[in-house]
Amino acid sequence: MSATILFTIISLSAIGAVAAIILYFVAQKFKVYEDPRIDQVEELLPAANCGGCGFAGCRAFAEAMVKADVLSDYYCPVGGNEAMTAIADVLGKSVEAKDPLVAVVRCSGSPAHRERVNSYDGAASCAISSSLYSGETGCQYGCLGLGDCVDVCDFDAIYMDEETGLPIVVDDNCTACGACVKACPNDIIELRKKNKKDRKIFVSCVNHDKGGVAKKACSVACIGCSKCVKVCPFDAITMDNFLAYIDPNKCKLCRKCVTECPTGAILEINFPERKVKTEETAKKPVEKAENKEQDNN
Amino acid sequence: MNKLFISPSPHVYEDTSVKRLMFDVVIALLPALAFSIYFFGMGAIIVTLTAVISCVAFEWLIQKFILKQEPSISDGSAILTGLLLAFNIPTNLPIWIIIIGSLVAIGIGKMSFGGLGNNPFNPALVGRVFMLISFPVQMTSWPVPTGFSNRYTDAVTGATPLGVMKEGLSAGKPVSELMSNIPSHMELFYGHMGGSMGEIAALALLIGFAYMLFRKVIKCHIPVAIFTTIIAFTGILWLINPESNADPLFHLLTGGVMLGAIYMATDYVTSPMSVKGMWIYGIGIGVITVAIRVFGAYPEGISFAILIMNAFVPLINMYVKPKRFGEEVKDGQ
Amino acid sequence: MLKTFPKGGVHPEEGKYSANSAIATLPLPKTVSIPIAQHIGAPSKPVVKKGDKVKVGDKIAESAGFVSANIHSSVSGTVVKVDNVLDSTGYKRPCVIIDVEGDDWNENIDKTEDLKKEISLTDKEILNKINESGIVGLGGATFPSHVKLSVPDGKKIDVLIINGVECEPYLTSDHRLMLEKAEEMLVGIQILMKALSVNSALIGIENNKPDAIEHLTALVKDYPGIEVHPLKVQYPQGGEKQLIKALINREVPSGGLPLDVGAVVHNVGTAYAVYEAVQKNKPLIERVVTLTGKSVQKPSNFMVRIGTPVNDLIEAAGGLPEDTGKVINGGPMMGKALNSLDVPVVKGTSGILIMPAELSKRKEESNCIRCAKCVSVCPQGLEPYLLNRLAQLEKNDKLETGGVMDCIECGSCAYTCPAGLPLLDYIRLGKSRVSQIIRSRKQ
């Protein structure tokens, strides 16, 4: 009996030793030199592997940055300026601070405002629905409500509101990686500057139809009346094909356009309560969105 | 006007569902269940009820309290697992062992992988093999099929034909002598032998097979591949030396070959997707079964054979693809 | 043994309610809206403007390239506007809208019903005529016919296949055409044979139309080279690749076209349109449309002017049934659900199917149980369960190697799936992604 045990131990140890020696030489022979800074840079990245930088994962991004001469084209939206400065220190290069961004959903077409005219019964995917037809409502531009943006978000930063059927961004979780922007077939989601206290003003509509058509399909659509363009003191608002757009870089958050908009298509979010009461109709949808947003924060 | 429904094509569907497929298999198992009750009496009823009820209960509990899903026991898959588990155990098995076996079958064999459709191994066989290894004594004491008067746990027990054969051959006795202690082929065909509850009646199992083929529940490829392989393999051995190897028909009719090939190996979830794959899978099961029976330590090996081949299914699915339309022409050019 | 394709296929309930109702001519509509993109390829360029007077058969939009087709006015009247109008997908597409005034035909068109058998034109002239008349594949694919008839150098065509299969359940427009316009259609086939310079034409008809098979078999004796072949009732028998395999046992290579195996396939409706264009000088301005459904009062076949609103057809068949849940443009297997009944009938509209509400909803989805039914019914030998999963995970490279581009979107997999999974929805999505990738790779 003891002889069996002894033989087993000896033979197994011998096999182990031989294998170890072979492995050692093979490892030596096939050793690939890797810049140690890649590991250092990777350490500093958030390891979210979200692809928000445009590379396939954090390591690929780190490799690209180590090779690059200047870092101006590289930015990790998840790590933000903090991570980028730390990486620049490691690589002995410099970076400029960028404004942090956040995703906003530019559609307020809840069933209350935008009537459903048919019912979609296919696979629950916006991509499939949009390739089939214009959607359940009369508006061919707005949110389809099937949640492709929610499916792609790695950070739990977006969810579907059950009542409105629209996606809601959780500002604190959003890293502006842009996955939802790419996933949305109707290009409703936009990355906008994250202002102080997460305040933002934007046109919550992407409908390019003429006023009457847009209004018929959805009561909170932008009808292209250009009132906001005229009232804006900073020339931040442009009108393109019956749709207003507020340039986040020019907008100074004065909120004049919000009260001017006849349909309430322009939203103000995370602002303190106004002192002067405005018209009921204009205020309604705004309040709604405001409350939602505060619930999340 | 009502709101119109909009969906991508197709707009019509075959009148079928997972539930219906599951219950078709259950229906196909009923003749065999009737034979078992006829031969084993009360024991068969108690074992079947225990296994089915505990499988369904465990699935419901796990989905409700551990996975927090909407319980899906109404699809009939747990009933089927319970029934197949009962078919795979002796009718004098104590209730507590059956309950443990059901827990293993449903809990480990199925739900731990994510429920119906995701399990790599046949849940009922996982339960059976677990019990066979954990409780070898209870799992291999077979009641003698004396009829409906048979009692439950204190039934008279005897060996299975395969057990008799295995023991006899290893003791050096010739087949012709052993055959006299074994029921005739005809008796084996309609199930007058010791064994697990549902495996004995080849006739009833074949009736169920015909029903499933008629209802297009399964394709015939896997069972046919298994039968052919077993006949060919044991046939060769038998022709080489008929005194130390039993004849092919004996191998086909004894043990769990019928039950395993028709009902366990064809389990949708754990069998290959392409016809070519089904042949490979069936041949593999046949070869391993005979190898275990003839050269291994166990008298019966189909449950192990199926589980082993289950493990190969993902590999088969990856490398064995159906022939594509227009594929060969392309290669030829 | 009836001929059929070797692998896969399903047999949905046939539901050919309108098989016995003769083709009726629909009264002229008040206005027609004729989309300028009714075919595969480049949308045509409108050549009329607001206020123009047009006659029946006048060209209103011009082919914009080789793979494109002319469009002719189907009515006489005044052009109201050329504008973007909601089409069957709910998106806006450019349309020519014409107010109907009387029924004044272009004088070049021979309006008589007489059968004209002699083919006086040469093959080049035939091709030009077909191109000029705006004929596209009327089986539903709407591929411009002259493109199919222009055989590239180095390819040899030896057989013309005529698709009279009509494998889509419910639809009967081709069936009625084969019964009522058989001689015209056979002359049309002869014209096509002449254009392609082939000596043999095979008509494939599914065996659920014994009257059409009998009728045509009796007639073809006078038409040398044309044969009628009954085929097994099995969907998708009318798929181009499946039909070629069934009739002449040649397999179109993956990614290839029928002309790679020396065959060209045309629909019976196209053959009839070719006859009218070549012998009667009549461009493609009307077609046979089946209006049917389980609860439709009078399931019918109509001869309809292109551009007529779908609503007019429904009214003529006894109105929209109370229990309507879905209106489909085309058959139940490959048709498109409509979200508005004001959309016009176009060249590719072979039928309008009205489904009762209880048959309109999809089955409830459950887990894939890997039953492999989708694999066994796929006529292209693909693995739908796998492609579905890969498309959901956006594994585009694996989708491509998995043969997603070979999918003919017949819907057999989704039809048969016991778990009610939307297999084809995702496969189609994956296919469009992969084809985008392939296109960008070529550039």
Secondary structure of residue A167 in the 3-state scheme: strand
> Are the beta carbons of B1 and C252 separated by less than 8 Å?
no
Residue corresponding to tokens 């994962």: A57
> Are the beta carbons of B18 and C419 separated by less than 8 Å?
yes
Q: Is A131 on the interface with C (CB under 8 A)?
A: yes
Whole-angstrom distance, CA of residue A126 vs CA of residue C310? 28
Residues shown for chain A: 297
Environment class of residue B2 by beta-carbon count within 10 Å: exposed (0-12), middle (13-18) or buried (19+)? Answer: middle
- Report chain A residues whose CB lies below 8 A from the CB of C432: 131
In chain C, residues 284-323 whose CB comes closer than 8 Å to chain B: 320
Structure tokens at B63: 């989905």
Nearest-Cα distance to chain B for C168, in Å, is: 11
Q: Tens digits of per-residue pLDDT, B275-294? A: 999 999 999 999 999 999 99
Dmax (CA) for chain C in angstroms is 64
Find chains touching chain B: ≥3 CB pairs under 8 Å.
Answer: A, C
Q: Is A132 on the interface with B (CB under 8 A)?
A: yes
Find chains touching chain A: ≥3 CB pairs under 8 Å.
Answer: B, C
> Are the beta carbons of C429 and A134 separated by less than 8 Å?
no
Nearest-Cα distance to chain C for A139, in Å, is: 9
> Are the beta carbons of B8 and A128 separated by less than 8 Å?
yes
Q: How confident is the model at residue A275 (pLDDT cuts 50, 70, 90)?
A: low
CATH number of C1-26+105-361, picked from 2.30.110.10, 3.40.50.11540, 3.90.850.10, 3.40.710.10: 3.40.50.11540
Give the count of beta carbons closer than 10 Å to the beta carbon of residue C411: 29
Q: A101 versus A17: which is more confidently predicted?
A: A17
Secondary structure of residue B15 in the 3-state scheme: coil
Question: What are the domain boundaries of chain C?
Answer: 1-26+105-361, 373-442
Which residue does chain B place closest to C363, by CA atoms? Answer: B13
Mean pLDDT within C341-369: 91
- Nearest-CB residue to C90 (from A127, A128, A135): A135
What percent of chain C has a predicted confidence (pLDDT) above 70?
100
Find the helix or strand (DSSP H, E) in which A296 lies.
helix A280-296
> Are the beta carbons of B322 and C414 separated by less than 8 Å?
no
Q: How confident is the model at residue B150 (pLDDT cuts 50, 70, 90)?
A: low
- Nearest-CB residue to B324 (from C261, C332, C403): C403
Q: Is B6 on the interface with A (CB under 8 A)?
A: yes
Tell me the H-state helices in B215-256.
221-240, 248-253
Q: A69 versus C281: which is more confidently predicted?
A: C281
> Are the beta carbons of C426 and A123 separated by less than 8 Å?
yes
- Are B117 and C370 in contact, with CB atoms under 8 Å apart? yes
Q: Tens digits of per-residue pLDDT, C46-58? A: 999 999 999 999 9
Res C322 pLDDT > 60: yes
- Nearest-CB residue to C429 (from A121, A128, A140): A128
> Are the beta carbons of C370 and B269 separated by less than 8 Å?
yes
Res A274 pLDDT > 80: no
Mean residue pLDDT of chain B comes to 89
The pLDDT, as a whole number, for residue B290 is 94
Structure tokens at B24: 């078709």
> Are the beta carbons of B324 and C253 separated by less than 8 Å?
no
Q: Tens digits of per-residue pLDDT, B68-91? A: 888 888 889 999 999 999 999 998
Secondary structure of residue B204 in the 3-state scheme: helix
Instruction: Quote the distance between the C-alpha of residue C20 and its chain's center.
Output: 21
Beta strands at A266-269 and B157-158: parallel, antiparallel or unpaired: unpaired
Structure tokens at C246: 């069934």
The pLDDT, as a whole number, for residue A249 is 87
Secondary structure of residue B12 in the 3-state scheme: coil
Mean pLDDT within A157-164: 92
- Are C48 and C27 in contact, with CB atoms under 8 Å apart? no
Tell me which of B3, B4, B5, B6 to substitute to probe the interface with A (most A C-beta atoms closer than 10 Å).
Answer: B6
Mean residue pLDDT of chain A comes to 86
Q: Is C357 on the interface with B (CB under 8 A)?
A: yes
Report which DSSP code applies to A53: T
> Are the beta carbons of C336 and B20 separated by less than 8 Å?
no
Whole-angstrom distance, CA of residue B59 vs CA of residue B111? 7
Environment class of residue C357 by beta-carbon count within 10 Å: exposed (0-12), middle (13-18) or buried (19+)? Answer: middle
Nearest-Cα distance to chain A for C70, in Å, is: 26
The pLDDT, as a whole number, for residue A292 is 45
> Are the beta carbons of A123 and C89 separated by less than 8 Å?
no
Q: How confident is the model at residue B328 (pLDDT cuts 50, 70, 90)?
A: low
> Are the beta carbons of A122 and B4 separated by less than 8 Å?
no
> Are the beta carbons of A117 and C339 separated by less than 8 Å?
yes
Taking Cα atoms as reference points, which of C279, C282, C313 lies closest to residue C299? C313
- Report chain C residues whose CB lies below 8 A from the CB of B275: 376
- Are C281 and C110 in contact, with CB atoms under 8 Å apart? yes
Residue corresponding to tokens 């007639």: C219
The pLDDT, as a whole number, for residue B196 is 87
Those residues whose C-beta lies under 8 Å from the C-beta of residue C106, and which sit 6 or more positions away, are C55, C56, C57, C58
Structure tokens at C355: 């489904």
- Are C305 and C74 in contact, with CB atoms under 8 Å apart? yes
Kindly list the distances between the CA atom of residue C269 and the CA atoms of C123, C126, C137, C177, C280, in Å, as whole numbers in the listed order: 20, 17, 8, 7, 16
DSSP C145-171: HHHHHSPPTT----EEEEE----SSS-
Q: A119 versus A197: which is more confidently predicted?
A: A119
Query: Could you tell me which residues of chain C have a Cβ less than 8 Å from any Cβ in chain A?
Result: 86, 88-92, 336-337, 339, 360-362, 422, 425-426, 428-429, 432
Whole-angstrom distance, CA of residue B301 vs CA of residue B265? 13
Residue A145 — left, alpha, or beta (φ > 0 → left; ψ -120 to 50 → alpha)?
A: left
The vertex-B244 CA angle with B243 and B246, nearest 5°, equals 85
- Are C413 and A109 in contact, with CB atoms under 8 Å apart? no
Q: Tens digits of per-residue pLDDT, B202-220? A: 999 999 999 999 999 999 9
> Are the beta carbons of B10 and C333 separated by less than 8 Å?
yes
Instruction: Quote the distance between the C-alpha of residue A45 and its chain's center.
Output: 18
Secondary structure of residue B278 in the 3-state scheme: helix
Report which DSSP code applies to C337: E
The pLDDT, as a whole number, for residue C274 is 95
Taking Cα atoms as reference points, which of B88, B90, B72, B86 lies closest to residue B22? B72
Nearest-Cα distance to chain B for C214, in Å, is: 30
Q: Please give the backbone phi and psi of residue A130, each rounded to the nearest 5 degrees, phi first.
A: -75, -25
- Are C115 and C187 in contact, with CB atoms under 8 Å apart? yes
- Report chain A residues whose CB lies below 8 A from the CB of B5: 118-121
Q: Please give the backbone phi and psi of residue A257, each rounded to the nearest 5 degrees, phi first.
A: -65, -30
Q: Tens digits of per-residue pLDDT, A18-42? A: 999 999 999 988 888 888 888 888 8
Whole-angstrom distance, CA of residue A189 vs CA of residue A166? 11
Kindly provide the ipTM of the predicted complex, given to two decimals.
0.89
- Are B54 and B162 in contact, with CB atoms under 8 Å apart? no
Q: Which of A280-294, B57-71, C113-127 has the lowest mean pLDDT?
A: A280-294
- Report chain A residues whose CB lies below 8 A from the CB of C89: 132-134
Q: Is B75 on the interface with C (CB under 8 A)?
A: yes
The pLDDT, as a whole number, for residue A276 is 57
Domains observed in chain A? 36-91 (1.10.15), 101-296 (3.30.70.20)
Structure tokens at C139: 């089986």
In chain C, residues 240-279 whose CB comes closer than 8 Å to chain B: 241, 245, 251-256, 261
Which residue does chain A place closest to C86, by CA atoms? Answer: A134
In the chain, the amino acid numbered C80 is V
Tell me which of C339, C359, C362 to substitute to probe the interface with A (most A C-beta atoms closer than 10 Å).
Answer: C339
Whole-angstrom distance, CA of residue A53 vs CA of residue C73? 54
Res B67 pLDDT > 50: yes
In the chain, the amino acid numbered C288 is V
The pLDDT, as a whole number, for residue B315 is 95
- Are C167 and C234 in contact, with CB atoms under 8 Å apart? yes
Q: Tens digits of per-residue pLDDT, A174-209? A: 988 889 999 999 999 999 988 888 888 999 999 998
Tell me which of A126, A132, A139 to substitute to probe the interface with C (most C C-beta atoms closer than 10 Å).
Answer: A132
The pLDDT, as a whole number, for residue A187 is 93
Residues shown for chain C: 443
The pLDDT, as a whole number, for residue A282 is 46
The pLDDT, as a whole number, for residue C127 is 93
Those residues whose C-beta lies under 8 Å from the C-beta of residue A134, and which sit 6 or more positions away, are A140, C86, C89, C90, C91, C339
